[in-house]
Structure 1
Amino acid sequence: MQPIEFSNIAEQVLLFIADTIESLDHDGSIDIDFNNDMINISTNKGIFVINKHSASMQIWLASPISGPYHFSYTNGKWRSHTGSELFEILTNELQIQFKK
């Protein structure tokens, strides 16, 4: 993958993540700050940080629940070296925020 292609795909994913969380957070319990290719998601469980790491062509996630992950774009999905998928991890770890 060329750097410009990585940059475009990663930016689209970060924007999708921020927009999706904002649209699902009906009670305003999550604070999202999206700036300079980095998302900070402040929840009652801590702060999640998701950023584009251009040098390695990865998206990095720091989770207050499960720790750090590095995701590479493979076959249309963002996966860690262990096979974990970015959206699956985020969904599982943030779903508690949307439960009443």
Structure 2
Amino acid sequence: MKASRHLLRSPRPSVLFRRPCPSPTQRLTVPASSSLLSFSRPRAPFSTTLTTPKGLQPDSSDPKSPNTEPSPGTPSGAAQISDSEYHEIADQYLNTLVLAMEELAESSSEGIEAEFSAGVLTITHPKHGTYVINKQPPNKQIWLSSPISGPKRYDWVVPGDSQHEKADSTVDLGDDGQSGGKWIYLRDGSSLSDLIKKELGVELRHGGEGASDVNEGREGPAKSGANTAP
């Protein structure tokens, strides 16, 4: 009887149920949907539009100059003249230039040739190449093609009173010998007569006998036995 009670009172062995220890692989496994360890970045939208770099393109216009105001020495624009006035002034200038180039061709030993036909003056210089000077009535201009300075377009410009009068009281009669007007390249203010003197050594003087002088000069390549201009 005592033995049976003892058996009833004896404590039952306790059984502990433990979860199996996760393997190293299971410890490092994180659900892909976890927002805590998500490092994904939003993707930029895909575009098929090509980005054109800023700058000059073949079909773009020229950039504006930082200084849009004309310099004090640069003429502001061409004079307003009629068609008849244009032809009279341009023909007079070209005739003077033709006579000067004929004189240069005859006196020079360098083989310079000058030909004037249908309003086009062609000057062939053995060292520099071929010059072409012609009238352009639709624009009331004289066009020049130079092997040295390139193509240029000259407008008839008449200076104002302040430009016409100089400090030394010397009056420049200009290319027509009376108004002071000149054939001017408006982009830089240079004159056609100055370019001819610089590149060909011919100084044009209008409005009197001996209107033109052919000279060697420091800048001009021409050689002549005529009087040299200072």
Deviations 1:14-58 (A, max 9, x none): 111110122233035211110111100001110000000000000
Q: Output aligned runs, 1:20-35, within 5 Å.
A: 20-25=100-105, 26-27=107-108, 29-35=111-117
2:88 maps to what in 1? 8
Deviations 1:42-88 (A, max 9, x none): 01110000000000000011000110111111111110012010000
2:119 maps to what in 1? 37
Q: What TM-score do you get using the length of structure 2 for normalisation?
A: 0.42
What residue ranges of structure 2 are gaps of 5+ in the alignment?
Answer: 1-80, 159-180, 202-220, 226-230
Q: Structure 2 counterpart of 1:13, which letter?
A: Y
Aligned counterparts of 1:4 and 1:99: Cα–Cα separation in 2: 36
1:54 maps to what in 2? 137
Shift of 1:8: 1.1
Aligned counterparts of 2:108 and 2:224: Cα–Cα separation in 1: 10
> CA contact under 8 A between 2:120 and 2:133: conserved in structure 1?
yes
User: Higher helix fraction: Structure 1 or Structure 2?
Assistant: 1
Note the aligned Cα RMSD (angstroms): 1.6
Identity rate, percent: 33
Which protein is bigger by CA-based radius of gyration? 2
Q: Structure 2 counterpart of 1:11, which letter?
A: D
Shift of 1:4: 1.1
Flag the structure with more relative contact order, 1 or 2, with Cα contacts below 8 A and sequence separation at least 6.
1
> CA contact under 8 A between 2:90 and 2:135: conserved in structure 1?
yes
1:78 maps to what in 2? 183
Candidates 19, 23, 26, aligned match of 2:99: 19
> CA contact under 8 A between 2:104 and 2:222: conserved in structure 1?
no
> CA contact under 8 A between 1:43 and 1:97: conserved in structure 2?
no
Number of matched pairs: 100
User: Higher strand fraction: Structure 1 or Structure 2?
Assistant: 1
What residue ranges of structure 1 are gaps of 5+ in the alignment?
Answer: none
> CA contact under 8 A between 2:112 and 2:124: conserved in structure 1?
yes
- Structure 1 stretches of 4+ with a deviation exceeding 6 A read none
SS at match of 2:148: coil
SS at match of 2:139: coil
